[in-house]
Structure 1
Amino acid sequence: FSFFTTYRTVQHDELFEQIVNKSCRNAFIVTLLTTAIIMFIEMLFPNPALQEMDIALIFSTLILTFGFSMFFYDKPVDEMEDAPWRS
């Protein structure tokens, strides 16, 4: 989790809050879908060893989705194509 400490130095403005909100939304949706798929598989094939791996899989998809979304949405202002002031 140490890569999240790089965002300590970021000034918390409205754009940063939007980026965090979008990243949380993406992570929530991906985790929800992953959990639904895994629960369906677990109902078909109950296996205690597989259940332990599933918890790790759900957690890792949550963290990776949030991290990649932060990386994707956190662009420098001059690289933004859909900036409102460019129209």
Structure 2
Amino acid sequence: IDSIKSIITPTPEGDCVSLVVPSRGEYGIEEGLQFGFPIRSDGTSWRVVEGFDLDDFAKSKIAITTNELIAERQEIKAILANS
């Protein structure tokens, strides 16, 4: 419910919310991967907020999460292929 509210309610100026959306390659995340991004909404549409400076620690954590999500996606594909 909170995610929907975040999309249909304009985001206050200078703020953003975190939502899982399909990547379009932002922040180097593989296109199509469902990933949590900083989002801004005008109440009718949303966009990923780009331009955050990420230090090495943040980049390493994002890489770990990305690899976990890709592995989970592969596991689900295998399960679905065998069902």
Please classify the TM superposition score into its range, dividing by the shorter chain length.
0.3 to 0.5
Decide which structure has greater helix share.
1
Q: Higher relative CO (CA 8 A, sep ≥ 6), structure 1 or 2?
A: 1
- Which structure's CA Rg is the greater one? 1
Normalised to the residue count of structure 2, the TM-score between the two structures is 0.40
Normalised to the residue count of structure 1, the TM-score between the two structures is 0.38
